[in-house]
Amino acid sequence: MKTLSVRNIVLIALFAAIAFVLNSIKLFTMPYGGSVSLCSMMPILLLAVLMGNKVGIIGGTALGILSIINGVYIIHPIQFLLDYLLPYMCLGLAGFGGYQDKRKVFLAALLAVALSVTCNILSGAVYFGSYAPEGMSPWVYSIVYNLLTNGVEGAFSIAVLLLLPLQRFSEIINRGK
């Protein structure tokens, strides 16, 4: 594995910090802690699109670690991974489509967000299924709950990502390389 340049480490830290700040801005909060933040997935998606999957996944990992600062609720080590690390790391997979073709950016970001939300759905069904209303399947409950929180935020983040001038951002980031 090639080592990361100082420039890439700084970019990872910058994008993770922006995502962390956006994650602190809640548009609405659901019962039991779920919420929709102000497009906090978008900086990691953007980082991956501009810099590739490796840098995106590392940025997602950094954001996952930063999210611990806001407090964690841990039932099991696998639940910790499914709720706090893997969903953010999955966002870093948006880089496989590049940045030149908005259709590919959309598909790559959609896949990354879908994988991220799937991690949350798995955790919700397995570890938080007891919160499901009586008579409702824990899986249905987790799918609905996570689509209304992380799914909505992912959709907003993808929409904003597609509005950005990706070619120009790439030129700025790669200036002086």
Please report where in the chains the tokens 């809640």 appear, as a residue: 26
Which position has the higher pLDDT, 32 or 140? 140
* CATH architecture classification, 6-174: Orthogonal Bundle (1.10)
- Kindly state the average pLDDT of the residues 14-27: 95
- Kindly report the pTM of this predicted structure: 0.94
Strands, DSSP E only, in 3-140? 26-29, 35-37
Scored b (16 or more CB within 10 A) or e, 91-118 reads bbbbbebebeeeeebbebbbebbebbbb
Domain boundaries, the chain: 6-174
Residue range 31-67, pLDDT digits in tens = 777 788 999 999 999 999 999 999 999 999 999 999 9
pLDDT exceeds cutoff 70 at 170: yes
pLDDT at 177: 64
Q: Are 149 and 112 in contact (CB under 8 A)?
A: no
64 contacts: CB under 8 Å, gap ≥ 6? 84, 85, 86, 87, 88, 89
